[in-house]
Structure 1
Amino acid sequence: MAGAFPRHETSLEALRNRGRYRQLMPRDGHDFASNDYLGLAGDDVLRAAAIAAVARGVPVGAGGARLLRGNDAEHQLLEAEAAEFFATGAALFMGGGFNANQAIFSTLPQQGDLVLYDALIHASTHDGMRLGRADTRSFAHSDVEDAARVLKDWRAEGGEGQVWIAVEAVYSMDGDLAPLDALMALADATGAVLVVDEAHATGVFGNLGRGLAHDIAHRPNVLSLHTCGKALGASGALICGPSVLIETLINKARSFIYATAPSPLNAALVRAALYELRDNPARRDRAWEGISHAQDEAKRLCGLAGFQSQILPVVIGDDKRTMALASAMQARGYDIRGIRPPTVPRGTSRLRLSITLNTGAEVMTAMFEDLAREMETRT
C-alpha cells in the first residue's frame, strides 16, 4: 500500500539512489566537521559566563519580539559593545546568520536597485534576494573584473538604483578569501555598497579576530555580518554597519520585527566571547598554529595544497564516492562529512575538513595519514 505522500517518498528515494540523501547523525569521533574554530562552544570561558549571567538574573528566554517586551538589557549591551569592537556605527543582534541575511537582502535593497552577488554566495543570501524587490545578478566567483562588467551592463540596460555587492569574506565550502581590496575599490568607483558576510572569518581573521573586512568596516558604504555560532561558540548573528541601515532593519525587516528575540542569556555568552577575542589573542594564535599544521600535513601526506583558511575542501567529484570516503573516515574515528549538491556545484562533491582547537596536531597528522590510505584505496 502506497504511503500518504507518494511524491515525497519518490523524491526521497531518488536522493538515495543518487547518493544525496541526508540524515541527522550524532556527534562522534574527532572534530573535523564543526565551525567551532576557536573551541569556545564547550569551553569553560562560556560555561563560566553562563553561570555568572544566570546568577545576576539574566533571563533564559526573551518572552517576545524585540519591539514588544523581548528587548533585554543584554541585547542592547551586546549591540553597543559589538559596534565598538567591530568599529561600526551600530549593530543589530539577530537569532542566526540565515535569518540575518534574509533580513538584509529582503529589506535594504529597494525596487530598482541591484544586488550583485558572488556566484558562490550562501543560500541564505539567495533566500533573502527572493523575498526582496531588487534586481539580482551574479558574477563569477571572486572575479572583480566580471563583477564590474555585469554592473556596467546593468547600467547600460537602464538600471539606475543603488548597487549592493554581496560577498563572503571566507567562503564556507571552498575556504578561499574574497578579494576585498579590489571589491572595495569597485564599490567606491561605482557608488555601490559592499555587504560582507564574515561568518567564517570572525574570530579567525583580522586584528583580534575582527574579520577580514575590519579595516573597512567603518566605511559608510560597508555592511558586515558576524555570525555568533561559529568561532564565537554561541549562536545568533550581528549585523554591523551605518546606523541608518540598522534602524531601517529594525523598522522594516520582517524576520526581525516578527521573530521572538534571541535569548538574553545567549546575548551574554556572545558578549563573553567578544571579551575573549579582545583579551586573549593567544587563543587565535593557537588556532592558526593548528591551521598551519593541518595545511602542511595535507600537502605532505595527501598532496593537497592551495588552502587559504581553516576550511580545507577535498574535492572528490562523484556523490557516492564522496559519501563512501566520508563513511570510511568516520569508521576510523574522525567526524568528517561529505558535502554534495546543491550545497556545492554539481560534480564537485567533497569532504569539508574544518580545523578547530578541538583537535590536536597528532590527531590531525593521523587523520591525513588515514585519508591518504582511503583515497588510494578508492581511486
Structure 2
Amino acid sequence: MTAFPRHEGALDQLRKRSRYRSLMPRAGHDFASNDYLGLAGSDLLRKAAQDALSRGVPVGAGGSRLLRGNADEHALLESEAAALFGTERALFMGGGFQANTAIFSTLPGHEDIVLYDELIHASAHDGMHLGRAIRANFKHNNVAEAERVILSLRDAGHTGRIWIAIETVYSMDGDLAPIADFVALADKHDAVLVADEAHATGLHGSGGLGLMHDYAHKPNILTLHTCGKGLGVSGALICGHAALIETLINKARAFIYATAPSPLNAALVRAALRSLAETPDLQHRAQETVAHAHKEAARLCGLTGFQSQIIPVIIGDDARTMEIAAALQAKGFDIRGIRPPTVPRGTSRLRVSITTNVTKETITQMFTDLAKLLERADV
C-alpha cells in the first residue's frame, strides 16, 4: 500500500489524461528555451562572470536586501536599469514569478481593482490571490471590453484605483498587446498599467528595451523586465515611479523575506543590459532568425499569423500533442508540448521558441519534419 494514496491517484489520473509532467534533460536543437538572444551560454556573459569574480564580487548575498544582503552590484544594476528603461526607480528581485507576486499582492489596495487580461501569467494570478484588491478580467487583448468592465464596476459603486495587468508579448500565444490603446485606456480612467515585458526584453522595442519603452517614463506605468529570458541570466527588474518601488521595499513580503539575488548575478545582468546598447547585432540577428522561422512555417506547414519569436502550433488533443512533441524530439529537435492548465482546454500545443541558438538551416529542417508529422493521423 502506498504511503500517499491520494497523491499517487492524482498522478495516475494525470498520466491517463496525457497531462503528467516530468523533468527532461537538455537534448537536441533548442526550440524550447527563452534564451532568445543566445546569451545564456555566451562568451560575453562568461567573460563578465570572470571579470566580476576577479574584482571581488561575491557569489552569494548572505541575507535579504534589508539585512546584510544589499550589495553594491544590486544598487548599480538598479540605477543603470532605471536610466536605461527611462523610469524613476528600478528594483531587482530573484525572478519574474517572485516579482509579479510582489506587485499584485502589495501595490493594489483592498478597495482597488485589478483588471487583467485572461491570458496573464500564472504568477500575476498568484499575486492577486495573495492581495486584497477586487479582481476582474477581460477577453484577451480586448481593450473595448476592458473599458466596459471598468464602466460596469464604476456603475456598481467601486471607487478604488484600477490596475490594468497585461503582457506585452504573450508567453503561450506569442501575440503582442495593443500597447498604445492600453496606455490611452489607463490615462482615461486614471489607472495604473502594469505591463509584463518578460518575453519582449532584449528582442522587442528600440534597442531591445521592450515594447513599453516609449511610455515607461509615465508615472502610471509599471513595467517588469525579467532577466532570465532574452537577457540570458536570471532575476527580474520592476521599473516605475519611486513611490511604487519604495512601497515594494517596505511592504512586499516576497522582497522583504527573500534572500537577495546573488551579487554576481546582478553583475551579469548589468553586462547583459550593456550588451543591448553596445551590440545591436544581437537584436538584429534574433529578429532575422524569427523572420526566417515565420517564412518557413508558412511555406512548409501553412502556419501563418505569428507576431513574435513564440510560435504556437495548436494541436488540440493532449495525447496527440505529446506524441508529436516526442516524435520531433526523437529527430533531434527540443520542442515541448504545452497542455492545460497552462493553456485553455482544447488548445494543447507545441510551443516553438525561436532563438539564435539554432541555425536557419535547422529551422527549415524542423518545419519540414513537422509538416510531415502534422499530416500523419497515427502520430
TM range (shorter): over 0.9
Task: State how far apart, in whole Å, the 2-side matches of 1:283 and 1:263 are.
Answer: 25
Match of 1:79 in 2: 78
Mapping 1:42-61, distance limit 5 Å: 42-61=41-60
Normalising by structure 1, what TM-score?
A: 0.99
Match of 2:241 in 1: 242
Match of 2:107 in 1: 108
Aligned residues: 378
The secondary structure found in structure 2 opposite 1:92 is strand
Counterpart amino acid of residue 62 in structure 1: A
Are positions 1:355 and 2:354 aligned together? yes
Cα RMSD (Å):
0.5
Are positions 1:214 and 2:213 aligned together? yes
Match of 1:200 in 2: 199
Match of 1:33 in 2: 32
Task: State how far apart, in whole Å, the 2-side matches of 1:266 and 1:221 are.
Answer: 29
- Percent same amino acid among aligned pairs? 67
Match of 1:13 in 2: 12
1:283, distance to aligned residue in structure 2 (A): 1.0
Task: State how far apart, in whole Å, the 2-side matches of 1:167 and 1:299 are.
Answer: 28
Match of 1:119 in 2: 118
1:377, distance to aligned residue in structure 2 (A): 1.3
4+ residue runs over 2 A deviation: none
Task: State how far apart, in whole Å, the 1-side matches of 2:228 and 2:356 are.
Answer: 15
The secondary structure found in structure 2 opposite 1:67 is coil
Task: State how far apart, in whole Å, the 2-side matches of 1:247 and 1:185 are.
Answer: 26
Are positions 1:305 and 2:313 aligned together? no
Match of 1:99 in 2: 98
Task: State how far apart, in whole Å, the 1-side matches of 2:377 and 2:341 are.
Answer: 24
Match of 2:283 in 1: 284
The secondary structure found in structure 2 opposite 1:346 is coil
Match of 2:140 in 1: 141
The secondary structure found in structure 1 opposite 2:15 is helix
The secondary structure found in structure 1 opposite 2:24 is coil
- Show CA shifts across 1:38-79 (max 9, x none): 000000000000000000000000000000000000000000
- Show CA shifts across 1:177-221 (max 9, x none): 001111111101100000000000000111110000000000000
Task: State how far apart, in whole Å, the 2-side matches of 1:282 and 1:229 are.
Answer: 20
Counterpart amino acid of residue 112 in structure 1: E
Counterpart amino acid of residue 291 in structure 2: S
Task: State how far apart, in whole Å, the 1-side matches of 2:206 and 2:132 are.
Answer: 36
1:378, distance to aligned residue in structure 2 (A): 3.1
Unpaired segments ≥5 residues, structure 1: none
Counterpart amino acid of residue 171 in structure 1: Y
Normalising by structure 2, what TM-score?
A: 0.99
Task: State how far apart, in whole Å, the 2-side matches of 1:3 and 1:189 are.
Answer: 59
- Show CA shifts across 1:120-156 (max 9, x none): 0000000000000000000000000000011111111
